[in-house]
Amino acid sequence: MDFNLNENQLNYLGSVKKLVKNEITPHVLEMEKFHKFPWGIINKAWEMGIMNLCVPEAIKGYEIDAISSALIIEELSYGDTGISTSAMCNDLANVVIGQHGSDEQKELYLKPFVEKPLLASFCLTEPNAGSDNSMMTSFMAKRDDGTYILNGSKCFITNASYASQYTVICKVGKPTGNFMACVVIPVEQVTSKELPDIGEATREITLSGGGKIIIGKPEDKLGQRLSNTASITFEDVVIQPGQIIGDRRFGFKYIVDVLDYARPMVAAIGLGLARRALDLTIEYTRERKQFGQRICDLPVARDMITAMWKKVELSRLALLKAVCKIEEKAPDAGIYASLAKNTCAEAALFCANEGLHLHGGYGFTMEYEISKLARDAHIIDIYEGVREVQDMIIGRELV
């Protein structure tokens, strides 16, 4: 394993660092205070080619490997993890199309993302089916003419209010059965021009093919306030057979494939946050003096900074191993995806919490970015599978 970055990776990282330094960090506290959707940054990220990382070369004209993707996401997350969550959500929704879609589906459902800065949503979680998605009740019933009718509700869906396409996992066959399907529902295309900011509004989409999609009011979240999260209801949505990805009964297998790719990307989000917390803390404790010394020179405080650095570096190792496993298409990629997700989430929480502590009372105010990081960090341990689910996967693979 070579830890040196190639020229291409260095170029990408250089431009993302510039974007973060010039456009995100100076304004992030103000932006997140007003919960305004960061279309401006999303549009720039799209122009720079750092969105839709998973779209294959045949559609995009070039390919970005999983290692470079993780590095890009880490760097963007150093700026803000709400923004990177929104940006990488396109990959969460679209990776399955690249992996299991037909050539026609790839052209139809991936090309629009290359042509315009559009957003996609991945709809798996339901009110009564979170960690245990086998309990989902969204169901697609087959009709005599060969089409299907989808009904059901999803919750906590990233980008839901702004999405131009929804990838939906639902039951098929019998509502209480085990078969799941993965379907793609393109809707009216919305960019920053058509829908600059949803505010607290709901969105209702009447589909030309039949049925309705109703998107709830955006969630008012503790952290990652620059990402959009909302519930979605599918009402009698007509699904053509061509909208079904792969085999209509293999949705569960496809979820596993999606998450094996996406969990290391969430790990990269966590690592970016942990690194930002470490840097802010070093900066602050170098400036502030107590007991006649810089806080960073007080031995117990320095131990804590050392512990933060160790978490950052060790989680980078876990992340790199997980993305190398994706690149190798290794059969044990899943266990390393879970390891990376948990290790990086733990680093994010640790560095944000200890960093806040080392800022003292100032860290507890909204004026200091470390307080935002402490709010943002929690979700990294929850979305795309809570910590316990990752441990369950690791335990199951071991024995």
Ligand X SMILES: Cc1cc2nc3c(=O)[nH]c(=O)nc-3n(C[C@H](O)[C@H](O)[C@H](O)COP(=O)(O)OP(=O)(O)OC[C@H]3O[C@@H](n4cnc5c(N)ncnc54)[C@H](O)[C@@H]3O)c2cc1C
Q: Please give the residue ranges that form the binding site for ligand X (CB under 6 A).
A: 89, 122-125, 130-131, 156-158, 221, 224, 229, 379, 382-386, 388-389, 392
* Token pair listed for 27: 């304004």
φ/ψ of residue 325, rounded to 5: -65, -35
Task: Pick left, alpha or beta for residue 185 (phi over 0 → left; psi -120 to 50 → alpha; otherwise beta).
Answer: beta
Q: Are 255 and 192 in contact (CB under 8 A)?
A: no
Count helices and strands (H / E) in the chain.
Answer: 13, 10
* Token pair listed for 217: 């009011």
Q: Tell me the one-letter amino acid at 205.
A: I
d(CA 95, CA 97): 5
Q: Are 322 and 264 in contact (CB under 8 A)?
A: yes
* Token pair listed for 273: 């946050």
Burial level of 302, CB count in 10 A (0-12/13-18/19+)? middle
d(CA 51, CA 46): 5
Catalytic residue among 313, 384, 388, 397: 384
* Helix or strand (DSSP H, E) at 116: none
Rg (CA), the chain: 21
Q: Are 117 and 192 in contact (CB under 8 A)?
A: yes
d(CA 341, CA 345): 6
Task: Pick left, alpha or beta for residue 360 (phi over 0 → left; psi -120 to 50 → alpha; otherwise beta).
Answer: left
Q: Tell me the one-letter amino acid at 186.
A: P
194 is catalytic: no
In three-state secondary structure terms, 396 is helix
Q: Are 106 and 52 in contact (CB under 8 A)?
A: no
* Token pair listed for 259: 């998450």
* Helix or strand (DSSP H, E) at 120: strand 119-123
The residues near 39 (Cβ < 8 Å, ≥ 6 apart) are: 191, 192, 196, 197
* Closer residue to ligand X (CB): 222 or 366: 222
Active-site residues, by number, are 384
